[in-house]
Structure 1
Amino acid sequence: MNVKVNGWLFAGAFALGLLLVNLSNIPVNSQGRAVIKIDGSSTVYPITEAVAEEFQNKKRGAVQVTVGISGTGGGFKKFCSDNEAVKTDISNASRPIKDSEKKMCADAGVKYMEIPVAYDAITVVVSKDNPLTDITTAELKKMWEPAATNKITKWNQVNSSWPDVPLKLYGPGADSGTFDYFTDEVIGNSGDSRTDYTPSEDDNVLVQGVANDKQALAYFGYTYYEENKNKLKALKIDGVAPSSQTVSDGTYTPLSRPIFIYVNLDAVKSNSAVKEFVEYYLDSAPKLVKEVRSIPRTDYQAHKQKLAQAIR
């Protein structure tokens, strides 16, 4: 027998399998593989990408998982879209969903479940060559608040004991959940930030910008610091260094936080590949979160049970 899907013609036993997949409403690509679409936070990306790689290996090529990095806000724009061409099944998020995004999902008929997958410590970093070891939240505010734009341009303008050299700043873009969280906790209002810095949704760009410049400073997720600690220095915040221990015991404040995936419940119900992937995610998280040097939780199975109840 022959089966045509999206303009591609398949024959024989493979065509029969493909037909069964299509009859079950599971999206497939041109090779007949079930597709799971994920986008969003760069902070959550290393965890989800690690799960995706292992899951695809387990499925032996029967499932394709795509994981993009458009930032938490950019991810929700796709997740809550009513355009099937761009809509995602899962959204990585380094902050909770905003009211405006909830409305966008409601308007598009997207029902979802929030699942915390790890803890993160937003990490403020400088080059290994920079002598600084500590910074206060007050100094961070003076450095990053909107009033600093084109005015606070040297290190000694933040603290008079620091050198009289240019201050070069790197940070997440405005679509980033890390940007939202940092500005909320440090500046006092989410989204308020100086604009004359180098932004990127790709944390690796921020890493490279600081690693090679003694006068630079950046902030991003803890995993990216851990992966690059041979060329970066994490600053203590109000005397406390970021670590799994200080996040767990609550002493690393105010920049520790939970991070999430948001799951489209209709996709879980209609696409067995999505359901299996999310279950695999929660089963594998204790090991894989540690492997990517993030900070694991202890309640994965409880959320797996909540998911099962939500899709009944």
Structure 2
Amino acid sequence: MPARLDDHDRVPAAPDPDATLDAILGRVHLQGAVFLRGEYSEAWSYTALPPEQTAAVLQPGATSVALFHVVGAGRCWVALEDGVRHWAEAGDVIVLPYGDLHTMGGTTDAAPVSMAALLEPPPWSAMPVIRHGEGGSRTDVICGYLHAEDPLFDRRLGALPPLFVVRPPDGPARDWVRASIGYALQQTSPAAAGGLQGPTQLPELLVREVLRLHLAGAPSYESAWLTALRDPVLAPVLAAMHAAPEEAWSVGSLAREANVSVSFLDERFRAVLHLAPIRYLTAWRMHVARELLRSTDLGIAAIGHRVGYASEEAFSRAFKRAHGVSPSGARG
């Protein structure tokens, strides 16, 4: 029987409903810079440095950094160790919030080359530019990093997937992404100590915008979703859901993750996120599924299994209820 908090412990008042995602993200302290430009020609592929090596170069003392790649031209894919390819094209932003080991490549298959063989070690006398490939059509990628001591970037909470692609909608957001990264490239210069100095605020603003676009589909984002990641009761429950959306969670098994009673967990969810736990779980599964449909070639049944549905039919029904369109429609 899970332990219940003492009766005098009351659920805190619900957060201010006017606290928007923009305001919440504005309180997340980020620091980072653009640090690399890649000019890749078909056919090409490379494997990045391990996370600890990347962090040692870019943010000494940190165990990991968040990475982002902005595709300036062409089309490419990025995959983690599971091998699933997430595709991106010009104007898209690829985010690896935990800096995981990854491989990137173009539209034609090629054996991956280690980044260690392509990139000269620091200190750099100029921003590194990697030119790699066999001379075919070109893909340009701008690489940056961020470091943040915030639960949003805590791997244990899994608030963000380890890899996702954001495609800003046509209009001001997409134009701003392109303009800001172009300006950052023109202004960024090497620092005497071997790092990079320049308009670091621009990468921070860019990633805030990308996170806002990505999280806009998260359950109850207009309330205190990010605040819930800091809540001692909700944080371990959210971490469990985010880490394993495919599990057959019940309110009872979720309550055991936080060592509280079922009734207390339900009350806490409704007060902070304005959703019952299982409704949040379903919404999170649909959020994850939509991202996979947009950026990967995984089949609909495979995506359904990844988010906890035994059959393609059950997943399709749930997805259409949540988004008003079938999974195949969302993919188009």
TM-score, scaled relative to structure 2: 0.26
TM-score, scaled relative to structure 1: 0.28
